[in-house]
Chain A
Amino acid sequence: MPDVKLVNVSKRFGKIVAVDRVSLSVHDGEYLTLLGPSGCGKTTVLRIISGLTNPDEGEVYVGERLVNDVPVEERGIGFVFQLFAVFPHLTVWENVAFGPRVLGWSTERIEEECLRVLRMVRLENRIDAYPNELSFGELQKVGLARAIATGSKILLLDEPLGALDAKVRGELRLELRRLVKDLGLTAIHVTHDQEEAMVVSDRIAVMRKGRIVQVDTPPRLYSHPENVFLVNFIGEASFLEGTVKNAGKTALVVEIRDGSIIRVSGKSFRIGDRVVVALRPEYVKINAKGNVGLNRLHGRVERTKFVGWFTRVEVRLDNGDLIVVEEPMSNGHDFEVGEDLALTFRPRDALVFHYPEEGLQRALSLE
């Protein structure tokens, strides 16, 4: 029953609260990613699960067992390190055989098991190589093979692809997921790369300032973020500040900064509430002039960037807010700086949030 559960776990380093009352459960066989900006406490959470760091408060369960007082080496949890930590004085084979050997397995079993995992990561031809003869990608494969050779059913990965080239990273993350799924492991993967998290995980737990902000599947995290930080951190968005003028059951009328009115979908808001409306670039359309739409915003092109199959256009609205639009190449529109544009979007495509107490800038910041 290799599921992992954290209950109200906290950890302080001096005055800094690295992990603040985190509760999380990871199901048997699940691939979960801890995603967050650097310094958010995600690595500390991982180290607490492994036993390398002891929490100040809270409980850690593996299966049904409380493991707070179980030392690292008796937890049987595989750990993959960002900088590999492949023992430099041992060969690939000796590295992979290290775990089975300290567990006191028989020689035959060690041989069999090590060869099996080395085949899995396709390093069976490099068993006599020393770490300084390997590429970074190969080193991390050794790290991975070593972690699973002991037969542990839980795999912790601390930015396992962080030190690799973009290309290798792309290949290895798919291999990683395939391996975890083939072996039926429970994996917890720490990263700050949201694209990596999206591709590799069953669920993502987003962390910020030592806390878990939201745990959800990648598509739901993108379409139903619970606060403005998440909208900005997962994907991209432009923000309009405003006040609710009229609130229906599912529809709102919001007055934005220069007094224009927009309509958006949203529940649980009341008249007079301060809100932030977030617009994803791909949902904002450029409206041919004169066409009357429901939500019309006026502005001038401030900057354009040709990205490839679309052009990224930054439009400064008449009220001073900035909206980013992604316009597909196929629409054949050439944008000039200073050009007048009208923008439109559908009410249900906008995401509406209460205006954060700490202010919008602070709520969005990665710190």
Chain B
Amino acid sequence: MMMSGFKASFRRTLVKRLKNSSIIVLPFFFLIALMPIIYMFSYVFFNFGEVYRWVFNDPISGDARWVFMQKSILLSFEVATLVTIVDIIIGLPMAWILSRYDFWGKKAVDTLVDLPLAVPTSALGFSVFLFWGSRGGLASLFGIETGLFSRGPMMIVLAHIAFTYPYVVRSLTAIIEEVNIGYEYAARTLGASSVTAVRTITLPLIKPGLITGAILAFTRSLGETGATILVCGIYETAPLVIVAWRQLLEIPPAAFLGMIVVAVAVFLLYVATYLAERWRFPLRKVWPKAERFLSGKKPRSVRDLLSTLIFFLLVLIPSAFTLVYMGTWWSGSPFTRSQEAGVVYQVFLAPDRKWLSLWMSILTSLEISTVVTCINLAFGIPMALLVVRGKSRRLRGFLEALLNIPIAIPSAALGFSAYLLWGAKGLGVLSPGFWLVVLVHTAATYPYMVKQVASVLEGLPPMYEEAARTLGAKPFSVFRMVTLPLIMPGILAGTILSFTRSLGETGATIVVMGTIRTVPVIVVNWVEAMALPAAAFASVVLIATSYVLMLLFRHLIDIVVTKPKF
């Protein structure tokens, strides 16, 4: 009796909590993600005299920082634009093949497309560098001694294409599979060749997926640091400049640049979304003859072959090339046979005991990612409920728009603003180190958790919960026994995303890490120290950790989805 009474009252409080979760969840989101950014803006505003001196009127260099800043911003946007365009051009045919054709080995290709997602970007950037830029990479096929490309804008674009490609292909396959193929059939019975049908009917219908994919690719490319830092050479994108100035403790210009980047990114996100929704594909013209030719067998097989080749050459092999590199450099240099240039010596035998710092960094990385994911779970699920089920429509729209901000802005800027707010320059609560890293990673990954859960929740018809209510279940029991199991796939997907994103995060980590080191940072450090074989080993360890965890969660999803438990 006592027990059940206690249980009931416990449940009642929980229900209340859940209902009033906005009281906890909204301040949480505000505190970790929005307040630092607002603080960064106000910092620039209130210290503008100092900012001005640093940026426009330095006693030694004059406005050199301002010029440099403009160049870096321009480069960032040029790269992101080019990457997005290339992604769509090469991703659309691949998405088409994956969602409309059935062929031997389709499952394998489908998995391979996701592979770059499992590779943390610093490991991926390193791999891309090895493939395109080292003499052991693609250049060895042509007998070139130096590598095909040197580090710089071209290689930044190549690296960014490799890790943004899966986002575009995934967004597109999802929607192509969803679009009723009947519309295409209908168009063909009306005399349209298959190319005409796709262009005039299917393409407009998959526009939302195209927009989602393009925005994802653009923002990911714009804010990326881990890969960029390894392939940029003497060129620097805006996030890298923030990281560099923070390391030099040139705080005022870093804050100013952070502000500009955030403002432009957010502005672009909303303007682009707004315009894209209103833009209609031009349908007026038809070219029956040309499109009939393109619908033929030959042009189609050329297209299929080309998109597969491009996928392998631009995405898959560059992403996984570290493995080849590590293999050839395992016991020594393949060129000089020097053992000291090999992986084994550098990592395990050299006096600086790299294996020890690698081991410590793995532990640190896993700890951070685990704590971050737990926080995201605790605060993300109530937030998702609020975003989907919230009472006022305006609040829901507003929250969704706010949630996009941490996704749209470069994580380095986000990290820097948190450093400003919580660190010695601001409130002086947290100095750079473990907890500040956790805080920044949470801010950067929280929206992914919320969005994954929210998208499943949105697709959940209310009838199941209504049925549970009519059967006598109290609201909390409904949530625990019906809602929670049904949204479990979204929760697990969010967990994967937030964990792997945190594991691979580089730019924001460098800004706030203090004396601790995570694996991606170790990779960057070793590459900068030209200990490439050791860096390759660290990359492979990072990739393996990330991949094993991803497989584990996928397996969990399969179990949960096939056997819902109560």
Whether the pair B180, A73 counts as a contact (CB closer than 8 A) is: no
Q: How far is the CA of A102 from the CA of B196 in the complex (A)?
A: 8
Among the listed stretches B68-76, B199-207, B492-500, B511-519, which one makes contact with chain A, having 4 or more residues with CB under 8 Å of it? Answer: B199-207
Residues of chain B within 8 A (CB-CB) of A98 are: 187, 190, 192, 200
Q: A85-B183, A102-B288 are in contact. Are A73 and B201 (CB under 8 A)?
A: no
Q: Which residue of A lies closest to B288 (CB)?
A: A104
Residues of chain A within 8 A (CB-CB) of B186 are: 79, 81, 85-87, 143, 146
Residues of chain A within 8 A (CB-CB) of B182 are: 81, 83, 85
**A180 within 8 A of partner (CB):** no
Whether the pair B286, A72 counts as a contact (CB closer than 8 A) is: no
Q: How far is the CA of A99 from the CA of B286 in the complex (A)?
A: 11
Whether the pair A150, B204 counts as a contact (CB closer than 8 A) is: no
**A41 within 8 A of partner (CB):** no
Chain B, range 186-216, C-beta contacts under 8 Å to A: 186-194, 196-197, 200-201, 204-205
CB distance from A92 to the nearest CB of B (A): 14
Contact partner of B191 (CB less than 8 A), chosen from A81, A90, A143, A150, is A150
CB distance from B24 to the nearest CB of A (A): 39
CB distance from A93 to the nearest CB of B (A): 13
Residues of chain B within 8 A (CB-CB) of A79 are: 185-186, 189
Residues of chain B within 8 A (CB-CB) of A147 are: 189-190
Residues of chain B within 8 A (CB-CB) of A81 are: 182, 185-186
User: 12 A-B contacts, Cβ less than 8 Å apart?
Assistant: A71-B188, A73-B189, A78-B189, A79-B189, A85-B182, A85-B185, A88-B183, A98-B200, A99-B191, A102-B190, A102-B286, A103-B288
Q: Which residue of B lies closest to A146 (CB)?
A: B190
Q: Could you list 13 further interchain pairs (A-B, Cβ under 8 angstroms) beyond the known A78-B190, A99-B191, A143-B186?
A: A72-B185, A73-B190, A73-B194, A77-B189, A79-B185, A79-B189, A87-B201, A88-B183, A94-B283, A98-B187, A99-B190, A102-B190, A104-B288
Whether the pair B205, A88 counts as a contact (CB closer than 8 A) is: yes
Q: Which 10 A-B pairs have the closest CB atoms?
A: A99-B190, A79-B189, A85-B186, A85-B182, A72-B188, A102-B192, A89-B204, A73-B188, A103-B191, A73-B191
Whether the pair A104, B286 counts as a contact (CB closer than 8 A) is: yes
Residues of chain B within 8 A (CB-CB) of A76 are: 191
Residues of chain A within 8 A (CB-CB) of B191 are: 73-74, 76, 99, 102-103, 150
Contact partner of A52 (CB less than 8 A), chosen from B185, B197, B283, is B185
Residues of chain B within 8 A (CB-CB) of A102 are: 187, 190-193, 196, 200, 286, 288
Number of chain A residues whose Cβ lies closer than 8 Å to a Cβ of chain B: 30
Q: Which residue of B lies closest to A94 (CB)?
A: B283
**A224 within 8 A of partner (CB):** no
CB distance from A340 to the nearest CB of B (A): 48
**A50 within 8 A of partner (CB):** yes
Q: Which residue of B lies closest to A76 (CB)?
A: B191
Residues of chain B within 8 A (CB-CB) of A89 are: 204-205
**A116 within 8 A of partner (CB):** no
CB distance from B509 to the nearest CB of A (A): 44
Q: How far is the CA of A52 from the CA of B90 in the complex (A)?
A: 29
CB distance from A186 to the nearest CB of B (A): 15
Chain B, range 344-389, C-beta contacts under 8 Å to A: none
**A348 within 8 A of partner (CB):** no
Q: Which residue of A lies closest to B196 (CB)?
A: A102
Q: Which residue of A lies closest to B207 (CB)?
A: A89
B: contact size bracket: 20 to 34
Residues of chain B within 8 A (CB-CB) of A71 are: 188, 193
Residues of chain B within 8 A (CB-CB) of A104 are: 286, 288
Q: A101-B286, A104-B288 are in contact. Are A87 and B183 (CB under 8 A)?
A: yes
CB distance from A138 to the nearest CB of B (A): 17
Q: How far is the CA of A86 from the CA of B189 in the complex (A)?
A: 13
CB distance from B282 to the nearest CB of A (A): 13
Residue among B183, B186, B200, B205 facing the most chain A CB atoms (10 A cut-off): B186
Residues of chain B within 8 A (CB-CB) of A143 are: 186
Whether the pair B190, A85 counts as a contact (CB closer than 8 A) is: no
Chain A, range 125-165, C-beta contacts under 8 Å to B: 143, 146-147, 150, 156
Chain B, range 118-153, C-beta contacts under 8 Å to A: none
Residue among B188, B200, B201, B205 facing the most chain A CB atoms (10 A cut-off): B188
Whether the pair A150, B190 counts as a contact (CB closer than 8 A) is: yes
Residues of chain A within 8 A (CB-CB) of B183 are: 85, 87-88
Q: How far is the CA of A50 from the CA of B182 in the complex (A)?
A: 13
Q: How far is the CA of A76 from the CA of B189 in the complex (A)?
A: 7
Whether the pair A85, B180 counts as a contact (CB closer than 8 A) is: yes
Residue among B186, B189, B191, B194 facing the most chain A CB atoms (10 A cut-off): B189
CB distance from B438 to the nearest CB of A (A): 45
Q: Which residue of B lies closest to A78 (CB)?
A: B189
CB distance from B550 to the nearest CB of A (A): 34
Q: How far is the CA of A78 from the CA of B35 in the complex (A)?
A: 61
Residues of chain B within 8 A (CB-CB) of A73 are: 188-194, 197
Q: Which residue of A lies closest to B186 (CB)?
A: A85
Whether the pair A50, B204 counts as a contact (CB closer than 8 A) is: no
CB distance from A26 to the nearest CB of B (A): 17
Q: How far is the CA of A241 from the CA of B274 in the complex (A)?
A: 73
Residues of chain A within 8 A (CB-CB) of B194 are: 73
Residues of chain B within 8 A (CB-CB) of A77 are: 189
Residues of chain A within 8 A (CB-CB) of B283 are: 90, 94
Chain A, range 47-92, C-beta contacts under 8 Å to B: 50, 52, 71-74, 76-79, 81, 83, 85-90
Q: How far is the CA of A156 from the CA of B189 in the complex (A)?
A: 10
Q: Which residue of B lies closest to A149 (CB)?
A: B190
Q: How far is the CA of A74 from the CA of B200 in the complex (A)?
A: 18
Residues of chain B within 8 A (CB-CB) of A52 are: 185, 188-189
Q: How far is the CA of A50 from the CA of B186 in the complex (A)?
A: 11
Cβ contacts A175-206/B at 8 Å (1 or 0 each)? 00000000000000000000000000000000
Q: Which residue of A lies closest to B285 (CB)?
A: A101
Q: A81-B182, A103-B288 are in contact. Are A72 and B205 (CB under 8 A)?
A: no
Q: Which residue of A lies closest to B180 (CB)?
A: A85
CB distance from A33 to the nearest CB of B (A): 19
Residues of chain B within 8 A (CB-CB) of A72 are: 185, 188-189
CB distance from A118 to the nearest CB of B (A): 15
Q: How far is the CA of A88 from the CA of B192 in the complex (A)?
A: 17
CB distance from B507 to the nearest CB of A (A): 40
CB distance from B74 to the nearest CB of A (A): 36
Residues of chain B within 8 A (CB-CB) of A94 are: 283
Q: How far is the CA of A77 from the CA of B189 in the complex (A)?
A: 6
Q: A85-B180, A85-B183, A103-B288 are in contact. Are A50 and B201 (CB under 8 A)?
A: no
Cβ contacts B293-328/A at 8 Å (1 or 0 each)? 000000000000000000000000000000000000
Q: How far is the CA of A103 from the CA of B196 in the complex (A)?
A: 11
Q: How far is the CA of A25 from the CA of B186 in the complex (A)?
A: 24
Q: How far is the CA of A88 from the CA of B202 in the complex (A)?
A: 10
Chain B, range 152-188, C-beta contacts under 8 Å to A: 180, 182-183, 185-188
CB distance from A108 to the nearest CB of B (A): 16
CB distance from A44 to the nearest CB of B (A): 14
Residues of chain A within 8 A (CB-CB) of B185 are: 52, 72, 79, 81, 85
Residues of chain A within 8 A (CB-CB) of B187 are: 87, 98, 102
Q: How far is the CA of A147 from the CA of B189 in the complex (A)?
A: 8
CB distance from A255 to the nearest CB of B (A): 55
Q: How far is the CA of A297 from the CA of B511 in the complex (A)?
A: 97
Q: How far is the CA of A85 from the CA of B204 in the complex (A)?
A: 15
Chain A, range 25-53, C-beta contacts under 8 Å to B: 50, 52
CB distance from B460 to the nearest CB of A (A): 22
Q: How far is the CA of A83 from the CA of B182 in the complex (A)?
A: 9
Q: How far is the CA of A146 from the CA of B283 in the complex (A)?
A: 17
CB distance from A97 to the nearest CB of B (A): 10
Residues of chain A within 8 A (CB-CB) of B288 are: 102-104
Q: How far is the CA of A104 from the CA of B191 in the complex (A)?
A: 10
Cβ contacts A280-308/B at 8 Å (1 or 0 each)? 00000000000000000000000000000
Q: Which residue of A lies closest to B188 (CB)?
A: A72
Residue among A52, A85, A94, A150 facing the most chain B CB atoms (10 A cut-off): A85
CB distance from A265 to the nearest CB of B (A): 48
Q: How far is the CA of A305 from the CA of B190 in the complex (A)?
A: 49
